Amino acid sequence: MLNYSWLILLFPAAGAVINAFWGRRLGRRGVAVVANLAVLAALIMALIMAAGVRSLPAAAHGRYELTLWQWIGVGDLQVDLALLIDPLSVVMALVVTGVGFIIHLYAATYMKLDDEHHPLDARRYARFFVYLNFFILMMLTLVLANNFLQLYVGWEGVGLASYLLIGFWFHKPSAAEAGKKAFIVNRIGDFGLALAIMWLFFLFGKSAGSLGFHDLFAQLETLSAQNSPALVGITLLLLLAATGKSAQIPLFVWLPDAMEGPSPVSALIHAATMVTAGVYMIARTHPLYEMTPASMTAVAWIGGLTALLAASIALVQTDLKRILAYSTISQLGYMFLGVGVGAYAAGIFHLTTHAFYKALLFLAAGSVMHALHGELNIDRMGGLRAKLPRTYAQFLIGAAALAGLPLLAGFWSKDEILYITYQKNMPLYIIGLFTAFLTAFYSFRAVFRAFHGAPRDHHLHDHAAEQPAGMTRPLWVLAAGALFAGLIGIPAAVGGLFGVEHSHLLEAWLHPVFANVQTPHLPAWWELGLLGASSLIALAGLGLAYARYVRQAGWALRLQRLFSPVQPLLEHKYWIDEIYMAAIVTPLRRLARFFYTFGDQTVIEGAVNGLGRVTAGAGVAVARLQSGVVGLYALSLLLGAVGLLGFFLLFG
Amino acid sequence: MDLTTFPLLSLILWLPVLGALALFLFADARSIRVTALVVTLLDFAASLLLLPRWTPDGSMHYQEVLAWAAGLDFRYHLGVDGISLWLVLLTTLLGPIVVLFSWRNVTENVRSFFFLLLIQQAGMLGVFLSLDLILFFIFWEFTLIPMYFLIGQWGSGRRVYAATKFFLYTMAGSALMLVVILLLYFQTGSFNWLTLKEAGLDRTLQFWGFLTFALAFAIKVPMFPFHTWLPDAHVEAPTAGSVILAGVLLKMGVYGFLRFCLPLFPQATAIFLPWIAGLAIVGILYGSLTALVQKDVKSLVAYSSIAHLGFVMLGVASMNEQGLSGAVLQSVNHGLSTGALFLMVGMIYDRRHTRLLAEFGGLWRQMPVYSALFMVVVMASVGLPGLNGFVGEFTILLGAFRVNPLWAALGTLGVILAAWYLLAAVRGLLHGPLDNPANQHLADLDRREVLVLAPLVLLFFLIGLFPALFFDKITPAVELLLRDVGPVIGR
């Protein structure tokens, strides 16, 4: 059964090719059917693979490898294109194809209009779905890779898809610039991945004979001590790559701009799937990180600080999609925090629940945006609850899950990360808990500002209308996920209350992958106490948002005034874009111009021309050459060659 | 017909010359074009015949030896191995492509143009096939002549200046090479490459021999700081000339290093390798940065060639299996992707007669087929995995890492910059609003233009996904080279 797993790549590839060549002839309906069927088929394949992994013999350690063909073979560098099918890659494949399919469904309706709400012609409609299917192909290539180099294929492939889709409305300069920025910033991360791969090959490649994950990990036993400098270097380079793809400090700056892409793109690529690739990679390469506690600490701190930084920026943003973008960065920070403290399963758990509720939020925001003819500023919304009842319900469910309100999906997964962090790193736990408070606050700030209260722009409000069923219906599936996906990871302490053993289904499923990782545990009552603390924090955030934005309570307004000095700092996102521009981009451009005008045109040209003049002074013949009689020179060269030949023939 | 004794290499080498002469049988432009196309296609087909019976050992295949003069060891000696094989195929593939590209846009002196193209092709093939140093030198120098006229007669702007500069620059580089060839002869009594590489030349001769040869080759590649002829020549050359320049002529420099500098002067190689690596890295970074500030797309592509060839030379300087095999493959890759870039810039130029980025923007709306293909070509050029450029770049960088991780790290910075300058070109040409009235009625690619690009794009994917097909033949030759040279330089 598993030996047909390659079909999961073939389906989206076929979808992309068919729509690329025949999309215009198929028409919009045909294009949508082809693209959706391709992802649906891949989803079914992922389910079959999950069943296949379940029924693997115990000796296989839940792992099945399928070689497609020999890719690069030069000397001792031997790399295959091959699939690694194990519980971790199957979870990722399910998230990618599952959430991906829902988003494809939504997009089939959403993309009938262009960014100016004119009908989108079949050619461009087809192009969108070609890119979307191509993305699914590349994301599956990434998560199903059995070796580092193929991971890199997917890694850069999804980057290309992201670039093309961010810039889908390329006639808008802002969209075109955002796409370019995303690609280049990601390439800085890819620099880390490429070097890490070379370094790994340098260390272990000869003995491992490949770049396969498990072939390389098997060589780790040859290292005696933890934190060997080479391995710390490798894991930090991998971390650099992860900060690019997953928008963490210092490379997160591309993700907010990426919101220039159509909403389904933001949902699929820049929330649910691609941006989680960094988390996935660290989980996948955890044997390396387990050997380098120093790098683990770096991962955890980058995650924790990014979570806090992004959440603080999200507090003051007024663009609905940008709020969600910063919240995505912040949530990815939690996932980094999770894998950084060794809670790999918890990190993947949060990745999964986040995929549901964040995709839901982005698509609901897309519905709002369509209803308001492109308006995304929450300052101009208000009172949309009555106009868009279904969208309101969906956005509310997503926001509640994001805020970590008790029993919803985000609550369980975020809390599991905090639970492990509490035991491993107290400062980060406090940061994480405080960020949870901010998260609940900004989530409900968005809900209240957009949907509650009186409309602030009557023209917009009067023309708002609920979106067609093609868009609202698929969202209920995501909403169900945001409500109930947490059930796959109920902590044992809670399960114990109900007499359920092994209540954490996901952890049990992933056990073969993380079997050798020790997760510490506290007594059940302690864990329940921490759950309670998280609940209270989330409710406090919700309460503050309610007091400030619904009740307009005097104390809440005074509290806001208290913080008004830092507001500009947050509104300008700590000026990080500006700092990068001034510290890196502009100096590089100056250097480039200096090289070109001074280096090329003055120094080197000057030297060459000077040399030419010196030689020219040496003889009239050369001077004539300088004046452009090269044809003669060419002829004399030919004659010279013939003469030389004759010389040898006669005297040789 | 017995293929083992059939002079296949001579057929490949002289067919374009015969074709060039055949052009004089016709008076009308169309017959001339058709003849040129048929000849180049036949030449490509002939070169494909090299593949089926190829035995994957590193040796010289299909050798032909013809003694020229009694008592003198100057011979007509041809041969092809895994290092030259793909360069020969690249040359013969680009032949029909540039002929087809020039179908409509060359209207003056049609016969002379195609005549020059064909003898240019023969000259370059001679460079890759010659195993006798004098024969090699004759072909090497000969290739300058048709290119000089192609740039000078059919070029644009400052074409005479550019052609002269190209000629003098590269001529100056190789003048001394002949002296060394003669010195080698006086010391060993042979012009034969196979004999010379076994001869064990003395240290001084190796030192000076390496320097002279390397100067000629470094100018041709071109390596920093010998590169300033290239932007002028590339920019002013007609598209067909740019494609051949970038696609094949530059590779003659790389090939020269691999075929002559390394095996003939191994001790000197050991001394100079770090310098080559250093200049290669400077070339990567310098070329990438200067590409970034170009206002003319064609000079952007020209400067990007300096960066790309920097990668190739970094592979050469690594002197291990990955570095050298990667350098050979990347030479071919660069020929395909930069060739395609020049063709695509040419297609725009044919329509608008300008190449300034500021004149364009939003072309995707008007020319979707062009734009999609341009995107693919750009991605091949920035080394997107799955396409050809990645395979070459990665193997080169891996080879470099094994020698010195810093080389690889600096080289990899060039990969970031490549994305920057090429996406800036995409941004300038294809993205943004279609606001220049002159662009609002541009026609998308016609069938002929798609046909010109299609083989290149197919090869991007073929090499990117199945590079083993190519490495299988390259690596044994590289291993043979390393067996000879490796011990001398301690690798």
**B160: which chain A residues are within 8 Å (Cβ-Cβ)?**
628
Among partner residues B168, B228, B419, which is closest to A625 by beta-carbon distance? B168
Two structure tokens written together for A436:
């949870």
With cut-offs at 50, 70 and 90, classify the pLDDT of residue A582. very high
The SS3 call for residue B198 is: coil
Of the residues B139, B149, B168, the best mutation for testing chain A's interface (the one with the most A CB atoms within 10 Å of its CB) is: B168
Taking the CA of residue B1 and the nearest CA in chain A, the distance in Å comes to 34
User: What is the tens place of the pLDDT at every residue in B231-272?
Assistant: 888 889 999 999 999 999 999 999 999 999 999 999 999 999
CB–CB of A264/A330 below 8 Å? no
CA dihedral A317, A323, A329, A333 (to 10 degrees): 90
The whole-angstrom distance between residue B344's C-alpha and the CA centroid of its chain comes to 18
More confident residue, B161 or B313: B313
The structural domains of chain A, with segments of one domain joined by +, span 1-216+228-291, 316-571, 575-651
A24 vs B contacts (CB less than 8 Å): none
Question: Nearest-5° angle of CA B101, CA B103, CA B109?
Answer: 120
Query: What is the dihedral sign for C-alpha B365, B366, B368, B372?
Result: negative
Residue pLDDT, tens place only, B347-403: 999 999 999 999 999 999 999 999 999 999 999 999 999 999 999 999 999 999 999
Residue type, A322: R
pLDDT, tens only, A343-400: 999 999 999 999 999 999 999 999 999 999 889 999 999 889 999 999 999 999 999 9
Q: B72-80 and B61-69: which strand pairing?
A: antiparallel
Residues A544, A545, A550, A551, Cα dihedral to 10°: 10
Please report residues of B whose CB lies closer than 8 A to that of A613.
none
Q: Are B326 and B316 in contact (CB under 8 A)?
A: no
The nearest CA of chain B is from the CA of A599 a distance in Å of 9
Tell me if residue A319 falls in helix, strand or coil: strand
**How near does any CA of chain A get to the CA of B100, in Å?**
24
Question: Helices A229-245 and A277-284, interaxial angle, to 10°?
Answer: 160
**Confidence class for position B147, pLDDT limits 50, 70, 90:** very high
- Residue A499 to residue B127: CA distance in whole angstroms: 82
Taking the alpha carbons at both ends of chain A, their separation in whole angstroms is 75
ipTM of the complex in this document: 0.93
Q: Among all chains, which residue has been given the structure tokens 């049990």? A: A508
Instruction: Give SS3 for A200.
Output: helix
Band (pLDDT 50/70/90 cuts) for residue B179 is: confident
| A80, A33 contact by CB (below 8 A) | no
Higher-confidence position of A611 and A505: A505
CA distance B413 to A379: 43
Confidence at residue B4, expressed as pLDDT on a 0 to 100 scale: 61
User: Helix (H, G, I), strand (E, B), or coil: what is residue A498?
Assistant: coil
C-beta of residue B367 within 8 angstroms of C-beta of residue B444? yes
Contact B225 A604 (CB under 8 A): yes
Task: Give the residue from B82, B92, B42 showing the smallest Cα distance to B62.
Answer: B82
- With bands split at pLDDT 50, 70 and 90, how would you rate the model's confidence at A621? very low
Position A603 scores a pLDDT of: 76
Cβ atoms of B70 and B15 closer than 8 Å: no
B482: nearest CA in chain A?
Answer: A75
For residue A619, pLDDT over 60 is answered with: no
Q: For residue A634, what pLDDT is reported? A: 56
Whether B468 sits inside 8 A of A70 (CB atoms) is yes
> Is the distance from CB of A359 to CB of A437 less than 8 angstroms?
no
Q: B440 or B331, which is more confident?
A: B331
Q: Considering only CB atoms, which chain B residues are within 8 Å of A593?
A: 293
From chain B, the residues in CB contact with A604 under 8 A are 225, 227-228
Residue A32 has pLDDT above 50, yes or no: yes
Compute CA distances A266 → A166, A261, A471, A620, whole Å: 8, 6, 15, 70
What pLDDT is attached to residue B2?
52
Among chain B residues, CA nearest to A638? B142
Percent of chain A surpassing pLDDT 90:
75
SS3 B132: strand
Burial B438-457 (b: 16+ CB within 10 A, else e): ebeebeebeeebeebbebbb
From residue A503, give the alpha-carbon distance in Å to each of A56, A257, A466, A523: 22, 40, 39, 16
> Residue A60 pLDDT > 90, yes or no?
no
pLDDT: which is higher, A254 or B3: A254
Q: Does B397 touch chain A (CB under 8 A)?
A: yes
- The DSSP H or E segment spanning A67 is strand A64-74
Helix, strand, or coil here: A75? coil
| CA end-to-end span of chain B | 44
How does B85-100 read in b/e, with b if 16+ C-beta sit within 10 Å? bbbbbbbbbbbbbbbb
**C-alpha distances in angstroms, B213 versus A108, B59, B172?**
62, 23, 12
Query: Angle at CA A20, nearest 5°, toward A19 and A26?
Result: 40
Which tokens is B341 given? 């870039």
Q: For residue B405, with 0-12 CB atoms within 10 Å meaning exposed, 13-18 middle and 19 or more buried, which class applies?
A: middle
CA distance A132 to A126: 10
Cβ partners under 8 Å of residue B5, min gap 6: none
Instruction: Tell me the two tokens of residue A127.
Output: 């192009």
CB A149 within 8 Å of CB A207 = no
Cβ–Cβ of B320/A75 closer than 8 Å?
yes
Predicted confidence at residue A637, as pLDDT, reads 60
pLDDT in tens, A408-420: 999 999 999 999 9
Find which of B159, B184, B431, B463 to mutate to test the A interface (most A CBs within 10 Å of its CB). B431
Q: How many CB atoms lie within 10 A of CB A357?
A: 30
Distances (CA, A) of A54 to A1, A145, A645: 12, 19, 78
Q: Distance (Å, rounded) from C-alpha A10 to C-alpha A140?
A: 11
Distance from CA of A210 to the nearest CA of B (A): 13
Please say whether the dihedral angle defined by the alpha carbons of residues A452, A457, A463 and A469, taken in this order, is positive or negative. Answer: negative
CA–CA separation, A237 and A228 (whole Å): 14
Contact of B325 with chain A, judged by CB distance below 8 Å, is answered with yes
DSSP tag of A85: E
At A624 the pLDDT is 45
Pairing type for strands A77-85 and A64-74 reads antiparallel
The answer to whether B397 contacts A180, with C-beta atoms less than 8 Å apart, is no
What pLDDT was estimated at residue A615? 53
pLDDT at position B69: 64
